[in-house]
Structure 1
Amino acid sequence: MLHMLLGGGRRCLKDRTRMELSQGEIVAIKSISKDKLRDEEALQMEVEFLKLSDHPNTVRYYETFEDAKDIHLVMELCSGGSLAQYIESAHDSYGPGVSEDELARIAVQILQGIAYCHAHSVAHRDIKPQNLLFSCGEPASGSAIPIACSGHGDAPLKLVDFGIAGVVRNDRPEKRLLTKCAGTVGYMAPEVFGAKPYDGRSADIFSIGAVMHHMIVGLPPSWKSAKNAYDFPGRLRYEKLSEDCRSLLEHLLHDEPEMRPTAAEAIRHSWFDNRGVHLQNGCGDAEMASLLEQCFRRMHRFSQRTQLQKTVMYSMVAFAPLHNHHMEQLRAAFLFADRGTAAGVSCFEFVELGRKYSSFTSAQLRQIFATANVSKTGKLSYCEWLTASADDQWYRIKEHAERAFDTLDVKRSGCLRACDLSKLLPKVFDLQEIEEEIIGMCSKGEGNLRFEQFVACAVSSDFY
C-alpha cells in the first residue's frame, strides 16, 4: 500500500492514503481513529451524504470499513492536486496569478458542486482551496488548471471533506439555521463568528467569494477581531478585473447574508456567459450536438434492457473509476443538460433537449426518461445519466465488472443474489423481478449470479 498525503486534516484524521485494488484502480482512504473520535454523529452524517452524493463536482464515495482501531472511508482518488497548490503555483511561477478566464472556469465548478449540496439540504461549512481537489490531469504550460483526462477542457474540480457539514431543513423552520461556529478563518462568513444562528448556505456562498479573492490576489481575506470584519488585501488587483467579475464578487462577499445570491443564481450571472463559460467543458456547439445525439440513442437502447440488466449496469457505473475520455465526455453532456441547477435533469428538460438533439418523439423521450430514472425521483441524476448513456464498449471492460462484482459480493462467495443487487437503491429496484430473472438465467435455478453471468447482463441485450 502506497501512502500519499492529499491535504490538511482535522478531527483525528490520521492520513489520507491511496490504495491500489486488485483490479488496478487506485482509491483514497480517509482513516479516523476510534479512540480520538469525538463526534460520531458528524462522521455518520458525512458518510450518509457521501453515499447519496451523485454529482461531477463532489467526490465519489465507494464504501466504509473498520478494524479494531480505525474507521476507513474509501473514496475516489483525486490525483490532480488541490486548488491551493495551483493558486500558489500561479502566483509564484506565473507572476500575475490566476487569469480572469481561469477564475470563471474554476468558480463555476465550485458553484455547481455547492448548488448540488444545497439542493440536497447540506451546507458544507468548510469551503477552502485545500478542500477543492482536481480529479486528474496536469496543467498545460502557463495555466493554473489541469486538463481533463479527455484532453479537452478542464479537469473536474471536486468538493471534499464533509466532516463539519450541516443539514439545512427547509421543511422544518427550526432546523433551517445552524449555530455551530465551524470552518476555517479567512473563508468563514462574518456571521459564523457571532453567537446568533445563521444560514449555512449563505455562509457557503461567502466562502466561495473568499476562495475567489484568494485566487485573484494570492491571499485569503484577513479576519480582524477588533473590527469584527474582514480586510481584503490586494484590492489593487481588482481594478484589472471586468465590471461583471467585480459585480459577482460584491454579491458573494456581501456582509448581509440575505443579500447574497444562492449558488444556482450565481451560476446564471452574466459574467460566466461573457467569459465563454457555457457548461460545455471544452465542447464546441457541433461537438456537443453530436455527443447529445449519441447519448439519446444509447439511452433508447438502455430503455429496452431488462430490470436485471439495468441494475448490473448501474452498479458498474456506481463503482467504476470515471477518469477516462468516454466518461469525461458524458460528464460534459450531463452538465450541459443540467444547466448548472444541480437538481438533476427533469423530464421536461430531458424531453425538450431530446426534441432538439435527437429524432425521437416526445412520447418516446418520456418513456426513455422513465426507464433511465431508476431512482424514480423525477430527476435524472449524474449516475443515472452515465449508466444510460455509456457506450457498449465501456461495459465490456472487464475491470469495471470486477470492481462492481467484488464490492457487492461482501460475503466473498463468488456469486450474487437479488438482495445484494437491490441494496444499490433500496425500495427502487424490484427485488422479486430481479430474483426471477436470475433464476431464469441459471440452469439449476438456484438464484445465484456468477461473475460471467454478471458480465453477460451488461454486454448483451439478449443473454438468455
Structure 2
Amino acid sequence: VSVQRKAASVQRKPSIRSRFIAESSRDIRDRYDLEKVAIGTGGYGFVYRATCRDTKDVFAVKAVWKYKIKDMPDLEKEIELTRMLDHPNVVRLFSTSQDEKQIYLVLELCEGGELFQKIVEAKKLAETQVATIMKQILRSICYLHGAGIVHRDLKPENFLFQSKGVPLEHNTLKLIDFGLSKFLAEGEVLENLVGSAPYVAPEVVARSSGRPCDLWSCGAIMYMMLSGAPPFTGMNDRQVFQKAKSEKPRLIGRLWEPVSEAAKDLIRRLLDADPASRITAEHALESDWIKGESADKAALDPEIVRNLHRFSSASRFKRTALIAVAHQLREDEVETLRASFNAMDK
C-alpha cells in the first residue's frame, strides 16, 4: 500500500492508544533482550540496543517515560506518522508497547553515528562524498513531500548512518525524529515557529511555512559540510534569522575556492529566501552535481572538518531544545519579518 493511500486512510485506523494496549499483553523484555547500557539518551528517556528472542534480529528500543510526555496526542500522531513510512533513507518503526511507566518504540537500529560525527571521525571529506550524502538526504525529503509530509526539523543530528566501519560514500543515511512533522495539503501553510536556528527558513520565522522549509534546511546542512560553518551567523538567534531573510549565502573565500560552481549553484537554489522559487527535492535530485557528474573528487580543506567538530561539539549543549521563535522575538519583530516576507509575493 502506498504511503499516499495510508495517509488518506489514517483516520480509519485504530488509535495508537488502543494499539499500545493490544501490544502490551507481553512485556517488552519477554520479546527482546535489552542491553543494560543505553546507546542514547534524551529528555524523554533512553535508547537501548535490543535483540529479538525469536528472530535474533537487532533493533533499537526507545523507552519513553510516561510522566515526561506533556502531550500524549502529539506523541500518538508522531508514532502514527512514523509507522507509515517505508523508505531506505528513513528510519523504520516496527512496533510499539507499553507498561505502567514507559512506552517502548521498536525502531530500526542505526549504529553508524550522527552525520557530522561520522564526518569528523573520517577526518577528511571530498565534495563527491558530500554529493552522495546530499543525494540520500534529498531522497528522504522527496519521499516525505510526495506523501504530503513536511519534516520541519531537519538538522545533522537527525540523520544517522546505518552501519559502523563503512565509508561515508557507501553508508546508508537514515532520517529520524518526526516529532514536529505534519501532513500538509497542497497550498496549506503552518504558523508554528519551530526548528533549530541555523536550519530555520525565513518563512518559518514569518509563520507561513510549507514543504519548501525542508529544502532550506537541506541547503544549510550542505553549506556546512562544504565550509564547516552555518550559512548565517549572529550573536543570537534573532540575528541569524534576520540575516537569513535579508542576505545571500557567502560562497567566497579560501575554503570555497576548491568547491565546484555546480555545488555553489545548488546551495543558492536551496537557500533561496523566497520559498516559491526555491528548488524542490525532486528537481534537486536531477541536478548534475547530485548525480555526481560535476562534483570535485579532490579532498576539501581539512579545516572544514575541524570546524564541523567544533560546531557539533558546541551544539550538543542545545540538542534537546527546540527553537521556539515566539520566545526569541517580540511580537512586533515577528510582524516586521512577516510583512517583509509577504512583500515577496506582491
TM-score by length of 1: 0.51
Deviation string, structure 1 residues 268-299 (Cα, Å, up to 9, x no partner): 1121235379xxxxxxxxxxxxxxxxxxxxxx
Query: Which structure ranks higher in relative contact order (CA pairs < 8 Å, sequence separation ≥ 6)?
Result: 2
From 71, 79, 104, the equivalent of 1:39 is: 71
C-alpha RMSD over aligned residues: 2.2
Equivalent residue number for residue 204 of structure 2: 192
The answer as to whether partners of 1:104 and 1:275 remain within 8 angstroms in 2 is no
Partners of 2:119 and 2:197 lie apart in 1 by: 18
From 30, 39, 45, the equivalent of 1:5 is: 39
Query: Unaligned stretches of 5+ in structure 1?
Result: 146-152, 278-464
Larger-Rg structure: 1
Letter in 2 for 1:68: E
TM-score by length of 2: 0.68
Equivalent residue number for residue 86 of structure 1: 118
Equivalent residue number for residue 213 of structure 2: 203
Deviation string, structure 1 residues 174-225 (Cα, Å, up to 9, x no partner): xx1111111111111122123x3211x1110000111111111222334432
Letter in 2 for 1:16: V
Q: State the SS of the aligned residue for 2:64.
A: strand
The residue correspondences of 1:104-143 to structure 2 (distance < 5 A) are 104-140=131-167
Task: Identify if the C-alpha distance between structure 1 residues 247 and 37 changes in structure 2 by more than 3 Å, giving closer, same or farther.
Answer: same
The answer as to whether partners of 1:101 and 1:275 remain within 8 angstroms in 2 is no
Deviation string, structure 1 residues 378-398 (Cα, Å, up to 9, x no partner): xxxxxxxxxxxxxxxxxxxxx
> Are 1:217 and 2:227 an aligned pair?
yes
The answer as to whether partners of 2:112 and 2:118 remain within 8 angstroms in 1 is no
Partners of 1:76 and 1:4 lie apart in 2 by: 15
Letter in 2 for 1:5: I
The answer as to whether partners of 1:13 and 1:30 remain within 8 angstroms in 2 is no
The residue correspondences of 1:349-428 to structure 2 (distance < 5 A) are none
The answer as to whether partners of 1:51 and 1:61 remain within 8 angstroms in 2 is yes
Partners of 2:110 and 2:289 lie apart in 1 by: 28
Equivalent residue number for residue 69 of structure 1: 101
Query: Unaligned stretches of 5+ in structure 2?
Result: 1-33, 296-346
Task: Identify if the C-alpha distance between structure 1 residues 24 and 276 changes in structure 2 by more than 3 Å, giving closer, same or farther.
Answer: farther
Give percent identity, aligned residues only.
33
Equivalent residue number for residue 25 of structure 1: 57
Deviation string, structure 1 residues 379-431 (Cα, Å, up to 9, x no partner): xxxxxxxxxxxxxxxxxxxxxxxxxxxxxxxxxxxxxxxxxxxxxxxxxxxxx
Letter in 1 for 2:243: A
The answer as to whether partners of 2:59 and 2:108 remain within 8 angstroms in 1 is yes
> Are 1:162 and 2:178 an aligned pair?
yes
> Are 1:229 and 2:243 an aligned pair?
yes
Letter in 2 for 1:87: I
Give the C-alpha shift of residue 99 in structure 1. Answer: 1.0
Deviation string, structure 1 residues 46-104 (Cα, Å, up to 9, x no partner): 111221111111001110111111111111101111102123335xx33xxx2110011
From 27, 36, 46, the equivalent of 1:15 is: 46
The answer as to whether partners of 1:88 and 1:218 remain within 8 angstroms in 2 is no
Partners of 1:136 and 1:233 lie apart in 2 by: 34
Give the C-alpha shift of residue 44 in structure 1. Answer: 1.6
Equivalent residue number for residue 412 of structure 1: none
> Are 1:261 and 2:293 an aligned pair?
no
The answer as to whether partners of 1:109 and 1:157 remain within 8 angstroms in 2 is yes
Aligned length: 252
Equivalent residue number for residue 243 of structure 1: 261
Partners of 2:113 and 2:56 lie apart in 1 by: 21
The answer as to whether partners of 2:128 and 2:292 remain within 8 angstroms in 1 is no
Partners of 1:261 and 1:203 lie apart in 2 by: 11
